[in-house]
Amino acid sequence: MCGIIGYIGNNTAPKILTESLKKLEYRGYDSTGIALLDNNSRLVIVKASGTVNNFKKKLDLNKLTGKIGIGHTRWATHGEPNNINAHPHTDCNNKISIVHNGIIENHQEIRHSLEKSGHKFLSQTDSECISHLIEEYLNNNDDIEKAIRHTANTIQGANVVVIIHKEHPNKLFCFKVGSAGGLIIGNGNNEMFVSSDIPAIIPYTSTVTYLSTNEIAIISSEKVEYKNLEGISITKKTNTIEINRDSISKGEFKHYMLKEIHDQPQAITDTIGSRVSFTDNKIKFEKFPFTNQEIKEFSKIILIGMGTSLHACMVAKNWFESITRIPTEVDNSSEFRYRDIILNEKSLIISISQSGETADTIAAMEKFKSSNSKQITLSNSPKSQTSQIADYTIDIRAGLEIGVASTKTFMCSLTTLYLLSLFLGEKRNSLEKTKITAQLSELAKLPRIISNMLDNQNQYKIIAKKYYPYSNFLYLGRGLNYPLAMEGALKLKEISYIHAEGYPAGEMKHGPIALIDQNMPVVVLIPKDKMLDKMLINLNEVKARNGTIIAITTENTNYIENLANDIIFIPKTSDELIPIIMSIPMQLISYHIALNKKCNIDMPRNLAKSVTVE
Ligand code: M6R
């Protein structure tokens, strides 16, 4: 959650920090702030509640100077999202300034003890402990590195911190303990950058180093020294990042979300990419770590994730079961991490986290590392924290996703999971060769199908105009489309703030049916598949109760028109792949409704792109 930035070099820090914060804003937008050591050797802090644009209004960039500074966009955990609680925070003597991402679990204890020693706290945050702790340690020993290491060892929980100190104007300090989001150090030309994520760094350099847990970095404009928390120097590998700089701009689109929806035909092509050889219908995952024998012996698959990634798991459960014939279960990472589940070396945990930073998913993966089970993770950021835990990482290749609502990462996760199920199925001989050939040929058509679907958004605009004033929606689906009903409801509630629930259609008459009347639009996912007859029964039940039906169906199922108030047609593909194209109506209904409601689509209230706290 929270975006962190740091700069040291010969350029004007305030401008670089502010521009970079804009690129990290998707991580939190409750407040914005920067701290600078200015050209008159003063520690200057400017902060404001709300977004970076709001902050910019408060700031006269031309009046600020300094070649070193830190910045922060906040997703509030402790204390309201106001100006005082905004980062950066400082110590009693205004010498130290810090920005922080994570949760300090023992902050109350630390605060209490520091207050007893005379420290005055200004904010309600846990973060402010850090600047006061460093100050306290420096009162007893003037070695700043030692004080920072001591602080890193004292605070409990998962935390990432960047620090500047007035008496050390040529150094930025940072440390990471646990998995509270990434910290990337970018090497420029006589300048260095620190950031929570790549978009803020990529305009300046593509040479980066990832700080790992229990590491500290001491950064000057020419070099970076890495140490562990005992103060022993360590050598770290530098990476060159490849990222399409265009993917950072919205281009012709009004919102990142809309751009990212339109990126999907290309994204899915990239996901399939070199993994499929269409000449001999083979699927390949580079350096797949498990032998054919191990694959044959898998006795259980557990898919874990949160939010949209969990919905991808729910779809994939059906694929893994039917294609690989391995018993498969799904769990929400935040529940899974506390289960007393029985696992062994024949169990395969597949985690999905597009950011690779989701705290609950990381914790679940870490917890079951000792169970000897095998772990595969899917990520859109293959050097992320989840990949450091798993035995194998699969890059979903969606390209950078900035909009808080996941769209193309969902589609690419689904596509990757489908390929993985076919790959495992082939190795286990649980799938006939002709079936693989047929499915791959259907898969190859998806980019074109999706592109055609995106060319005609009129039906979504009409539906959105008619339905945006409603306050409640129900989404119903069965089988592979039940998770899509959940995903449709999630998309709608998160960006339009309309209450929406996704249900398996069969569950409707066990309770939710009581809600149905003409004021409750029911979005029914009813493609022409093996569940059609069952879904028609549900459609009739809604109709009989005067419900308002928006049906989403494949072309040529005209009889549904007699029952539905409105109908959206999607193209035909194989039953297995319907959820992939069904994600388009789920995204576009929500997008156009939120547009009508004039919501802040890319940065919905209370949310952030990566959830790095429990
Ligand atoms: O980065 P992750 O895939 O682990 O994120 C998990 C959820 O926070 C995420 O899918 C969230 O539900 C979506 N942004 C909703 O659109």
Over residues 242-289, the pLDDT tens digits come to 766 666 778 789 999 999 999 999 899 989 988 998 888 899 999 999
Whether the CB of 376 sits within 6 Å of ligand 1: no
- Is the link from the previous residue into 81 a cis peptide, with omega within 30 of 0? no
Q: Which two tokens stand for residue 131?
A: 């600047």
User: Whose Cα sits closest to atom 1 in ligand 1?
Assistant: 355
Q: Which two tokens stand for residue 442?
A: 């259907």
Whether the CB of 450 sits within 6 Å of ligand 1: no
pLDDT at 424 over 90: yes
pLDDT band at 579 (very low <50, low <70, confident <90, very high): very high
Q: What does the pLDDT average to over 451-465?
A: 93
Question: 67: closest CA among 219, 254, 251, 285?
Answer: 219
Encode pLDDT of 352-395 as tens digits. 999 998 999 999 999 888 888 999 999 998 778 899 899 999 99
C-alpha 411 – ligand 1 centre gap (Å):
13
C-alpha 93 – ligand 1 centre gap (Å):
40
Encode pLDDT of 481-521 as tens digits. 999 999 999 999 999 999 999 999 999 889 988 999 989 99
Among 1, 406, 590, the mutation site with the greatest number of ligand 1 atoms within 8 A of its Cβ is 406
Tell me how far apart the alpha carbons of residues 361 and 158 are, in angstroms, rounded to a whole number: 14
Whether the CB of 186 sits within 6 Å of ligand 1: no
- The single residue listed with the structure tokens 């459960």 is 317
SS3 322: helix
Share of the chain above pLDDT 70, in %: 99
C-alpha 407 – ligand 1 centre gap (Å):
10
Among 27, 306, 417, 613, the mutation site with the greatest number of ligand 1 atoms within 8 A of its Cβ is 306
Q: What does the pLDDT average to over 528-549?
A: 90
Whether the CB of 611 sits within 6 Å of ligand 1: yes
Q: Specify the ligand 1 atom closest to the Cα of 407.
A: 16
Active site residue 129: no
pLDDT band at 34 (very low <50, low <70, confident <90, very high): very high
pLDDT of residue 556: 64
Q: How far is CA 296 from CA 78, 117, 276, 321, 423, in A?
A: 48, 62, 21, 14, 12
- The single residue listed with the structure tokens 């409105």 is 566
pLDDT of residue 245: 63
Q: Specify the ligand 1 atom closest to the Cα of 311.
A: 10
Q: Which two tokens stand for residue 529?
A: 């598949």
C-alpha 200 – ligand 1 centre gap (Å):
20
SS3 193: strand
pLDDT of residue 213: 87
C-alpha 610 – ligand 1 centre gap (Å):
7
Tell me how far apart the alpha carbons of residues 137 and 96 are, in angstroms, rounded to a whole number: 12
Burial code (b: 16+ CB inside 10 Å, e: under 16) for 226-244 equals bbebeeeeeeeeeeeeeee
pLDDT of residue 362: 94
Q: Which two tokens stand for residue 28?
A: 């939190």
Within 13 A of 587's CA, how many CA atoms are on the CB side? Answer: 30
Q: What does the pLDDT average to over 420-426?
A: 96
Tell me how far apart the alpha carbons of residues 147 and 219 are, in angstroms, rounded to a whole number: 16
Whether the CB of 406 sits within 6 Å of ligand 1: yes
C-alpha 129 – ligand 1 centre gap (Å):
30
pLDDT of residue 157: 86
pLDDT of residue 271: 93
Cβ neighbours of residue 330 closer than 8 Å, sequence gap 6 or more: 302, 303, 304, 310, 313, 314, 317
Tell me how far apart the alpha carbons of residues 234 and 178 are, in angstroms, rounded to a whole number: 18
pLDDT band at 558 (very low <50, low <70, confident <90, very high): low
Q: Which two tokens stand for residue 128?
A: 């402010």
Whether the CB of 361 sits within 6 Å of ligand 1: yes
DSSP code string of 376-428: EEEESSTTSHHHHHSSEEEE-------SSS-SHHHHHHHHHHHHHHHHHHHHT
The distance in angstroms from the start CA to the end CA of the chain is: 11
26 or 361, which is more confident? Answer: 361
Whether the CB of 308 sits within 6 Å of ligand 1: yes
Angle CA 225–161–50, to nearest 5:
135
pLDDT at 528 over 80: yes
SS3 48: strand
Q: How many CB atoms lie within 10 A of CB 327?
A: 12
pLDDT of residue 273: 85
Active site residue 2: yes
Q: Tell me which amino acid residue 565 is.
A: N
Q: Tell me which amino acid residue 414 is.
A: L
- The single residue listed with the structure tokens 């005209």 is 558
C-alpha 607 – ligand 1 centre gap (Å):
10
SS3 59: coil
Contact (CB, 8 A) for 324 and 424: yes
For 568, the enclosing helix (H) or strand (E) is: strand 566-570
Contact (CB, 8 A) for 610 and 1: yes
Question: 260: closest CA among 579, 601, 605, 571?
Answer: 601
C-alpha 345 – ligand 1 centre gap (Å):
29
Encode pLDDT of 130-143 as tens digits. 999 999 999 988 89
Tell me how far apart the alpha carbons of residues 583 and 317 are, in angstroms, rounded to a whole number: 17
SS3 98: strand
Contact (CB, 8 A) for 12 and 65: yes
Contact (CB, 8 A) for 399 and 263: yes
Within 13 A of 272's CA, how many CA atoms are on the CB side? Answer: 23
Q: 468: which strand partners? A: none
Contact (CB, 8 A) for 518 and 547: yes
**Which pTM was predicted?**
0.82
Q: Specify the ligand 1 atom closest to the Cα of 607.
A: 14
Q: Which two tokens stand for residue 187?
A: 């090497």
Whether the CB of 306 sits within 6 Å of ligand 1: yes
Contact (CB, 8 A) for 216 and 228: yes
Tell me how far apart the alpha carbons of residues 71 and 46 are, in angstroms, rounded to a whole number: 10
User: Whose Cα sits closest to atom 15 in ligand 1?
Assistant: 405
Q: What does the pLDDT average to over 345-356?
A: 96
Phi, psi of 603 (to 5 degrees): -130, 70
Whether the CB of 404 sits within 6 Å of ligand 1: yes
Contact (CB, 8 A) for 599 and 255: no
User: Whose Cα sits closest to atom 7 in ligand 1?
Assistant: 307
Q: Which two tokens stand for residue 516?
A: 């149905």
Phi, psi of 110 (to 5 degrees): -65, -45
Largest Cα–Cα distance of the chain, in whole Å? 81
